Amino acid sequence: MAVRAGVVVTGTEVLSGRVTDQNGPWVARQLLEMGVDVAHITVCGDRPADLTAQLQFLADQRVDLIVTTGGLGPTADDLTVATVAALCGRELQLDAELEQHIDAIVQRWRSRMSTAVDSEPLNAGIRKQALVPDGAQSIAPTGTAPGVAIPATGPLPAILILPGPPRELQEMWPAALESAPVAAALAARSEVRQSTIRAYGLSEADLAATLRTAEVEVPEFGDLEITTCLRLGELEMVTRYPDSADAAYAKLSAQVAETHGRQIFSTDGSTIDDIVATRLSGHLIATAESCTGGMIAARLTDRAGSSAYVTGGVVSYSNEVKSDLLGVPAEMIAEHGAVSEQVAASMAEGVRRRVGVDIAVSTTGVAGPGGGTELKPVGTVCFGIAMADRPTVTRTLRLPGDRASVRALSTTAAMHMLAAALA
């Protein structure tokens, strides 16, 4: 890949770990999908010297484009444009048209504010946001902060300056790509393909063994850039390759499918959530959750349009709710314990009957840190799937990690059980 880029994320709240950065990963994904090689992401606080050092570092690494995020607000600690302009030796000029544009946006916003705001600092802020370095192109704001695209300057690469709020940045992205400085920087990029295989219940070691075999048997294996990543029990294998390596990837993916077909659930980029949503079309689903406490329902309803198949569910955290709302017999809980396949089955059947749907999923387990026993240690989770005209299926897993890990792994396991039941 000929064209390289670096991303600089600014903001003390990100550097200090109080806010999770969404922009670096998002920009990196966009660039990679376009065939641009992202070499570095760096994070700095709101200190001009540190920002300058990172920009200079990326320039020294000979990237063709730097994308910065954040630091475009109206206040004094928002310094990105001034810092970049100084590094490039470009004077800041007031763009009167841009100033009017921002002013109109701020006036609209101001008219909805309950409290009075001083005009003077407000106007100073607007003027500051309308400053554009000499020879740069501004990117129209979707919030109040415009972006700036600066052409390559001597040894410095093209620099694209975007605001920090993820929604603003993402909405401005298409216009930013079309700006002359960015388009010129990315002109030489080569198209790459990216293919993803996802498996559930496959170990990294087993996939690594298959890849070692493929390395010997697949011609042009070296043209395939493979990364694997294990996350919540799902193993993802992403391969990037030029058009010329199409046949090599076809051979590799056939070998992986042959060896691990039982664990592979996606070869077209779809996630387990996509698959469950597709398979739920024409069905109605309800949930009965104990240890996952609503996470499965929240995940199912995360998708636009999910009201077509999600009717609802019950979070039966206490035994009383299991009995009162789901009809789980108190004697069953007393005999087998709340964490048992019997109770999981009864919960799923109970919510299915109660809500009148054709498929229901249940969880009951020990999320920890307390509540574990020798027979049912922390991480023991029972699942149930009840469907119309079919025997109820139950399963017990021992999931590793702390409370958050057990709950997240349980939610993902339930999604995979749903996908299998609906296949």
Question: CB–CB of 132/138 below 8 Å?
Answer: yes
Contacts of 8 (CB under 8 A, 6+ apart): 41, 42, 43, 44, 51, 54, 55, 58, 66, 67, 68, 69
Residue numbers 32-91 binding a copy of itself by CB under 8 A: 32, 38-46, 50, 53-54, 57, 61, 75
Separation CA 180–CA 137 (nearest Å): 8
> Per CB under 8 A, does 103 bind a copy of itself?
no
Q: Least separation, in Å, of the C-beta of 146 and a copy of itself?
A: 19
> Considering the rule CB under 8 A, would residue 262 count as an interface residue with a copy of itself?
no
CB of 203 or CB of 373, closer to a copy of itself: 203
Q: Does 111 bind a copy of itself (CB under 8 A)?
A: no
The one-letter code for the residue type at 350 is G
Which of 9, 3, 87 shows the shortest CA–CA distance to 41? 9
* Residues near a copy of itself (CB under 8 A), total: 91
How would you class 2 by CB atoms within 10 Å of its CB: exposed for 0-12, middle for 13-18, buried for 19 or more?
exposed
Q: Which of 94, 356, 388, 390 touches a copy of itself by CB under 8 A?
A: 356
Residue 78's closest CA among 65, 69, 87?
69
Question: Is position 300 an interface residue for a copy of itself (rule: CB under 8 A)?
Answer: yes
The answer to whether 205 contacts a copy of itself (rule: CB under 8 A) is yes
Question: Which residues 310-349 are close enough to bind a copy of itself by CB under 8 A?
Answer: 310-318, 320-321, 324-325
Counting Cα atoms < 13 Å in the Cβ hemisphere of 418 gives: 32
Stretch that binds a copy of itself, among 83-91, 182-190, 249-257, 305-313 (CB under 8 A): 305-313
Q: What is the largest CA-CA distance in the chain?
A: 79
Each residue 372-411 as x (binds a copy of itself by CB under 8 A) or -, in order, gives -----------------------------xxxxx-x----
The footprint of a copy of itself on residues 7-26 (CB under 8 A) is 12-20, 24-26
Least gap, CB of 134 to a copy of itself (angstroms): 28
- Of 96, 107, 121, 222, the one binding a copy of itself (CB under 8 A) is 121
Burial of residue 42, with CB atoms counted within 10 A of its CB: 0-12 exposed, 13-18 middle, 19 or more buried: buried
Q: Does 174 bind a copy of itself (CB under 8 A)?
A: no
3-class secondary structure, 19: coil
The verdict on 307 binding a copy of itself (CB under 8 A) reads yes
